[in-house]
Amino acid sequence: MKIVSMDVMSTGVVAYFVLMSARDGSFTPIVSDVKNIAYADPVPQAVILTAIVIGFSIQAVMLVGTMKLSRNHPTLDTDHIERSNTP
């Protein structure tokens, strides 16, 4: 459940940034002969793509860690796992 909640938080942050940066009437910044058009800023788009990739990689690392823990401790009880790993 912790992994799913981290994924939901990451998706929520991305959705919030997309909502805040969405503007009507903005065009893609492509070189053309037309002057004085409201272009969309590509920096927030790059930040969002980076956030998506980082969120995916964090989720993959957490799933690998969960697989390793499940091999050593075949239980879903986190208290039991923490008690057995403390000195």
Digit-coded pLDDT (tens) for 39-66: 777 788 888 899 899 989 999 999 998 8
Q: What angle do CA 34, 29, 26 make, to 5 degrees?
A: 85
Please tell me the distance from the alpha carbon of residue 45 to that of residue 85, in angstroms, as a whole number. 42
Q: What is the pLDDT of residue 41?
A: 74
Going by C-alpha positions, the residue among 51, 71, 59, 57 that lies closest to residue 7 is 59
Please tell me the distance from the alpha carbon of residue 51 to that of residue 66, in angstroms, as a whole number. 22
pTM, to two decimals? 0.67
Please give the torsion angle defined by the CA atoms of residues 73, 78, 81 and 85, in that order, rounded to the nearest 10 degrees: 140
Please tell me the distance from the alpha carbon of residue 16 to that of residue 38, in angstroms, as a whole number. 22
